[in-house]
Structure 1
Amino acid sequence: MSDIIHLLPDAIANQIAAGEVVQRPASALKELMENAIDAGATSVKVLVKDAGKTLIQVMDDGKGMSLTDARMSFERHATSKIRTSEDLFAIRTFGFRGEALASIAAVAQVEMKTKQRGAELGTLIQVEGSDVKKQEPVATTEGTSIAVKNLFFNVPARRNFLKSNPVEMRHLVDEFQRVALSYPEVAFSFYQNDMEFFNLTSGKLSHRIVGIFGKNYQGNLVTCTEDTPHLKVKGYIGKPESAKKSRGEQFFFVNNRYIRNNYLHHAVVNAYEGLIPADAHPFYVLFLEIDPTHIDINVHPTKTEIKFDDERTVYAVIRSAIKQALGAHHVMPGLDFSLDVNFTENWKKGDSGSQAVHQEHRYTGQDERGDTAYKQYQSPTFKRPSVSGWEKLFEGGELLNQASKVSSSTDAQDDIDVLTFPSKANEEPSKSPLVFPDPQEMGTGAVFQVDGNFIVAQMSSGLVIIDQQTAHERVLYERYQRQLTKAAGASQRCLFPQHVQLNPADFVLVMDIKQELHQLGFLIEEFGKDTILIQGIPADTPMKNEKALFEGLLEQFKHFKSELSLDTRENLARSLARRSSIRRGTKLNAAEMESMVGQLFACQNPNYGLSGNKTFVKLDLHKIQAFFTK
């Protein structure tokens, strides 16, 4: 029997390797930008056409390559980073396996121009499908320029699996943002079809965050630093009010390399416990600096997952750093020891202690007599009331008067006004949580509301109890689905159109779903760079805050997109129904409740809401009668 095992040709082997390294245009962009950073570039320019399918070009001002290095860079497993096996455990750069350019050149047409600093001429190399087509000297600027054209031109099946241009564009923007965040000292620019998306100058990390995500983040950043012998943490976290339902603005960098780690993400979320809702995700950009010998980065083809030798310690340090940052910037409630009764009693025993406490809250103004005659500004203090004369409390009708006289005679020398603020905690609970209608209105089909959350309707066979928010979401969802199918959404014009500033990734997303938004009734148009103008909203939506409605819709859309596998129309209908439905606790009049009941039972599927919960339950007469019989 003849032998059947043989070596793969280089072209096929390179294409197999490319399947791991180059999954889409964004993968190629990531590899090229990381190579530019490793080359010591101070400025990186990215040009993209047709969402990377036609062209991805990265130009840098790094140190460039010689003729031999330029030729060797396209060979498999050719690298300048690894000499011995020990080097694998001390890696601080990005590319090191020597597969990036070889894999990209196997599935695209690549043109490289590179020139070393101080050299007279550079080198031009053109490669198509791993075949070198041209190699010659060329006059070019110092640094390296690599253009990747017609990605997957020789693998049509892979090209057919690429998504639409807006989807691929979002992936390109995501990869660009990650590299740009990891090196704020490097200037970056990004152009799509000759239109500028980013122009980031070198500077501080806070400036880079604002430059990428918009000016809305300028007042929501909290500095986070922690220095331990095992790990150093630095970066910025977002204030609790800036937390969002969708993930996507959470960044971990280990030795300036972007990673994904759900375990460390849980450490951050755990530090926000009690400050944000359970389903919200805080913003953070955190840099972890650790000895490379304590991590293993070569566990994933894209190197976005790494292993720590002591992950629990890293978890504890990150959680502690986040809690300390939130407390230091007064984001978390702190303790005011001036309000402690024990401290107050001890301070009042000595004159020196009392003067020190009062001096801390003193306003040092002077009147015309030259002394400090202004009243001291003090923290409210708790005083232990005198118990002398307690027998008089039981002598009859002057209980409060006697108590006030005793207290005022004891503390008259302090002359401090005491203000009492009412609290609902001291109020008597309501005798009945039900909101009953007038008995004269209780006829056949009468409805009433319970606790502002449930609608109770009378039927011939008993009662039906409806969850008003879940029911309204179902009604709106089916309505928006019909509008998207028939493209017949009515709009109401805004009296004062509002503009919404978006980050580039969200702007691309909005442009991608612009047609579907118009079918729902939104009238939007571009209004400058990364800005849209809201001219109208769906006709059946309350005209309250159009900007908040649109931003909430976009956030809900991204949340559903990351959590559920839905097409664009289904996602939009769900998102708008969730955001424009009535909230729990909303009081409704009889006409509104009757309309809600009628619309719910006119739906195709009135039994369940968008999250799978029941919209109503029925209590028939037999079940009600069973409550009162043995």
Structure 2
Amino acid sequence: MGIINILDPSTANKIAAGEIIERPVSVVKELMENSLDAKADYIEIEIIEGGLSLIRVMDNGQGMDSEDAQIAFLRYATSKISVLEDLFKLSTFGFRGEALASIAAVSQIVLTTCNNSSNIGIKLKLAAGEIENKESVASLQGTTIEIRNLFFNTPGRRKFITNRSYEAGLITELVSKYSLGYPGVRFRLTSNKEVVFDTSGLDSVESRLEEIYGQELAGKFVNIATKELKPKINVEAWLALPNYNRNTKNQQTFFINGRLIKSKELNKVLDETYHTLIPKGRFAVALIKLEIPATELDVNIHPTKLQVKINNLDTILNSMVDLFKPKLWNTSFKDNNPLVKEKSYSKEEKHNKIKETENNFFLEETPVVYHQEILSLKKSGSNEESNAIFNYPDTKEVTPAIEKAIFVTSEDFKNEEHEVSQDMPEVKKRIDLKPLAQLNNCFILAQDKKGLYIIDQHTCHERILFEKFFKGENKKDISSENLLIPLSLTLTGQQEGILLKNIILLKELGFVVEHFGPRSFVLRAIPAGLKLKDRENFFMDLLEVLSESTRITSAKIRENIITMASCKGAVKANQKLTLPEMQYLIDELNNVDNPHACPHGRPIIYHLSMEELYKIFGRGEYRGD
């Protein structure tokens, strides 16, 4: 007897549904796209418990008659195509006839629809894909479809969806992105009876961008008006100014012929456009809309139709870069870019100005007195001063004040001048180094009797902070420091879901956040001693890190957060340090468990022994004198 079985229709439908309907947001996507295909200009979505208990989508589109409504839930039933050739001239989202059948196979459905002005429609009730009841009802033109108890008959799938707030956040994110693609359509979303997103009165892309991203990005987008790249191929874009960036590509939104897609090629277009304008590892916030003839597309390559193939793609991409780059680069963002403001200072003003460091590493900067040779260059009028890469602090003239450092409490400093505490605990293999100078504002040069040490100031401080924070977290000894002015945050739907999912974890790590309304939160406290210049960007990046950590353990999530906080809070490259500040970092490095590498694995210290130096300069054998 053979071992190959033909699956019964019920089992086959449930398996097929798993490929298309992965989670509640998949259902909302399919139903919302049906509403757009029906030419609706008002779409209302209601969800309960993240969509698991209820998803209701109501529109004022064309609706269906009784006959179409009854066959709409059959697999491969579609009004979009009739022959294979129709695939290459599609102007709609759907075409396979699988979505409604897949949804019906794993849920209980109530459909009410009417396609005429007689206000008489049809109401159907289905369970597991089978029609249980049908009746004529009074109805306005359009369609209302209720999906109840999603995955009720596939408990294996349902048990993996554990966080309702996260699912609601994904749905909010999806609806907000579609609202950008269709500014002429009003979208309204309620979650657990609370309105979380509504575009009423927001009839432009710009107004919706502001609603989604908040005041931080209001008016900070460069709009590239519709431009023909090639015959019948048009593009329109909204590119955020370079200093408003994120650490993932989640806020890069692409539409092709009104279809929301994911595209690594378009990600690369933005990378090239913003090249040198934003730091490596940071990504632009952008919206791109492309209109391409259907004959040049293949949309039938992905189960959820999130990817497409485009004919002659390279030519289109190159044309986009050529269009975007000069527009972005030539846009004046003087009021938003601190680098532009800095240029207004004279050279003398810059030299005398007390600078605010990137992360406010010290409360105030200690004056630096340069070595006499460099000062003499300035007096003689030589322009060689600008090429000097060594800073030689004079120990007799440098103010001895050491300011309060990140994650260091006031008890670490003894007297009124805040001199470095001398009672640091001794550790094995302690190296007593004397700082000599700073190389290129990036490296600390130090010495002892054994030779020269080159220390990366950023990785050094990053390791110090990481171990302080990590040990504090293990001891559950992380305290919060209230912000003098609480920080208001406007989040995207996905960010809101991520935050609600991890809000207890963040509180344990010292971040106190309060819910202030739909997608609105207030950051009231941060870990004690964490000094950050741009707290809002840091917190947004923190949420992005959490969004990438959905399938790892809570311990790993904690480590990722601590690593990020250490990196963001550490002194940066190109940041000038005084001699006492260098000495402080060296002393603190003696107290860490791993003084050799930062949490990312980059080296901290490089040693050139006296033996090597003697050999390099041909001074014979070093005898340790």
TM-score under structure 2 length normalisation: 0.79
The one-letter code matched in structure 2 to 1:209 is L
Give RMSD over aligned pairs. 2.9
The one-letter code matched in structure 2 to 1:12 is T
1:447–1:33: structure 2 CA closer, same or farther, 3 Å change rule? same
Supply the distance in 2 between the matched residues of 1:590 and 1:564 (Cα, whole angstroms): 44
Aligned length: 535
Corresponding position: 1:568 with 2:557: yes
Supply the distance in 1 between the matched residues of 2:5 and 2:434 (Cα, whole angstroms): 82
8 Å Cα contact 1:488-1:520 kept in structure 2:
no
Q: Residues 121-178 of structure 1: CA distance to partner in whole angstroms, max 9, x if unpaired? A: 3222222222333222333443211122222221122122335334323322232223
1:482–1:164: structure 2 CA closer, same or farther, 3 Å change rule? farther
1:621–1:98: structure 2 CA closer, same or farther, 3 Å change rule? same
8 Å Cα contact 1:553-1:575 kept in structure 2:
no
Report what 2:190 is aligned to.
191
8 Å Cα contact 1:270-1:319 kept in structure 2:
yes
8 Å Cα contact 2:499-2:543 kept in structure 1:
no
Supply the distance in 1 between the matched residues of 2:46 and 2:262 (Cα, whole angstroms): 27
Out of 449-458 and 285-294, give the one that drifted further. Answer: 449-458
Report what 1:551 is aligned to.
537
1:99–1:598: structure 2 CA closer, same or farther, 3 Å change rule? same
Supply the distance in 1 between the matched residues of 2:157 and 2:326 (Cα, whole angstroms): 48
- Describe how 1:465-476 pairs up with structure 2 within 5 A: 465-476=454-465
1:603–1:134: structure 2 CA closer, same or farther, 3 Å change rule? farther
Deviation at 1:557, TM superposition (A): 4.6
Of 468, 474, 488 in structure 2, the residue corresponding to residue 485 of structure 1 is 474
Report what 2:289 is aligned to.
287
Supply the distance in 1 between the matched residues of 2:167 and 2:437 (Cα, whole angstroms): 49
Report what 2:434 is aligned to.
446
Report what 1:619 is aligned to.
608
Corresponding position: 1:537 with 2:526: yes
Deviation at 1:79, TM superposition (A): 0.3
Report what 1:83 is aligned to.
82
The one-letter code matched in structure 2 to 1:293 is T
Q: Residues 457-493 of structure 1: CA distance to partner in whole angstroms, max 9, x if unpaired? A: 4446444432121121122223323333343212223
Q: Residues 15-70 of structure 1: CA distance to partner in whole angstroms, max 9, x if unpaired? A: 12112111111111100110111112111111112112222211111122122211
Of 285, 298, 310 in structure 1, the residue corresponding to residue 300 of structure 2 is 298
The one-letter code matched in structure 1 to 2:84 is S
The one-letter code matched in structure 1 to 2:481 is Q
Deviation at 1:14, TM superposition (A): 0.9
Supply the distance in 2 between the matched residues of 1:488 and 1:213 (Cα, whole angstroms): 34
Report what 1:275 is aligned to.
277
Supply the distance in 2 between the matched residues of 1:514 and 1:560 (Cα, whole angstroms): 11
Out of 521-530 and 9-18, give the one that drifted further. Answer: 521-530
8 Å Cα contact 1:488-1:519 kept in structure 2:
no
The one-letter code matched in structure 2 to 1:571 is N
Runs of 4+ in 1 over 6 A off after TM superposition: none
- Describe how 1:39-438 pairs up with structure 2 within 5 A: 39-162=38-161, 164-201=163-200, 203-224=203-224, 225-227=226-228, 228-326=230-328, 329-330=331-332, 426-428=383-385, 433-435=390-392, 438=395
Supply the distance in 2 between the matched residues of 1:601 and 1:171 (Cα, whole angstroms): 46
8 Å Cα contact 1:34-1:179 kept in structure 2:
no
Report what 1:517 is aligned to.
506
The one-letter code matched in structure 1 to 2:227 is E
1:99–1:538: structure 2 CA closer, same or farther, 3 Å change rule? same
1:497–1:326: structure 2 CA closer, same or farther, 3 Å change rule? closer
The one-letter code matched in structure 2 to 1:131 is E
8 Å Cα contact 1:471-1:615 kept in structure 2:
yes
8 Å Cα contact 1:557-1:572 kept in structure 2:
no
Deviation at 1:541, TM superposition (A): 2.2
Supply the distance in 2 between the matched residues of 1:425 and 1:152 (Cα, whole angstroms): 77
% identical equivalent positions = 31
Partner SS state of residue 241, structure 1 = coil
Supply the distance in 1 between the matched residues of 2:544 and 2:382 (Cα, whole angstroms): 39
Out of 23-32 and 243-252, give the one that drifted further. Answer: 243-252
Deviation at 1:565, TM superposition (A): 7.2
The one-letter code matched in structure 1 to 2:457 is Q
Supply the distance in 2 between the matched residues of 1:623 and 1:519 (Cα, whole angstroms): 49
1:425–1:67: structure 2 CA closer, same or farther, 3 Å change rule? farther
Q: Residues 75-117 of structure 1: CA distance to partner in whole angstroms, max 9, x if unpaired? A: 0000001112221110011111110110011112222222223
- Structure 2, unpaired ranges of 5+: 335-380, 399-430, 621-625
8 Å Cα contact 1:236-1:284 kept in structure 2:
yes
1:223–1:436: structure 2 CA closer, same or farther, 3 Å change rule? closer
Report what 2:342 is aligned to.
none
Larger radius of gyration: 1
1:93–1:454: structure 2 CA closer, same or farther, 3 Å change rule? same
Supply the distance in 1 between the matched residues of 2:547 and 2:382 (Cα, whole angstroms): 42
Partner SS state of residue 144, structure 2 = strand
The one-letter code matched in structure 2 to 1:552 is F
1:425–1:561: structure 2 CA closer, same or farther, 3 Å change rule? farther
1:180–1:499: structure 2 CA closer, same or farther, 3 Å change rule? closer
Report what 1:346 is aligned to.
none
The one-letter code matched in structure 2 to 1:433 is F
Deviation at 1:579, TM superposition (A): 1.6
1:204–1:499: structure 2 CA closer, same or farther, 3 Å change rule? closer
Deviation at 1:606, TM superposition (A): 2.7
8 Å Cα contact 1:62-1:144 kept in structure 2:
yes
Deviation at 1:230, TM superposition (A): 4.1
Report what 2:18 is aligned to.
19
1:470–1:43: structure 2 CA closer, same or farther, 3 Å change rule? same
Report what 1:340 is aligned to.
none
1:326–1:596: structure 2 CA closer, same or farther, 3 Å change rule? closer
8 Å Cα contact 1:484-1:516 kept in structure 2:
no
1:10–1:540: structure 2 CA closer, same or farther, 3 Å change rule? same
Supply the distance in 2 between the matched residues of 1:429 and 1:128 (Cα, whole angstroms): 77
1:496–1:289: structure 2 CA closer, same or farther, 3 Å change rule? closer
- Structure 1, unpaired ranges of 5+: 333-423
Corresponding position: 1:585 with 2:574: yes
Q: Residues 224-246 of structure 1: CA distance to partner in whole angstroms, max 9, x if unpaired? A: 13113141112322222223332
Partner SS state of residue 243, structure 2 = helix
8 Å Cα contact 1:561-1:571 kept in structure 2:
no
Of 491, 495, 498 in structure 2, the residue corresponding to residue 506 of structure 1 is 495
Supply the distance in 2 between the matched residues of 1:565 and 1:454 (Cα, whole angstroms): 38
Supply the distance in 2 between the matched residues of 1:36 and 1:600 (Cα, whole angstroms): 61
Supply the distance in 1 between the matched residues of 2:34 and 2:397 (Cα, whole angstroms): 80
1:46–1:437: structure 2 CA closer, same or farther, 3 Å change rule? same
1:74–1:44: structure 2 CA closer, same or farther, 3 Å change rule? same
1:439–1:222: structure 2 CA closer, same or farther, 3 Å change rule? closer
Structure with larger RCO (C-alpha < 8 A, sep 6+): 2
Deviation at 1:553, TM superposition (A): 3.4
Supply the distance in 1 between the matched residues of 2:274 and 2:485 (Cα, whole angstroms): 38
Partner SS state of residue 196, structure 1 = strand
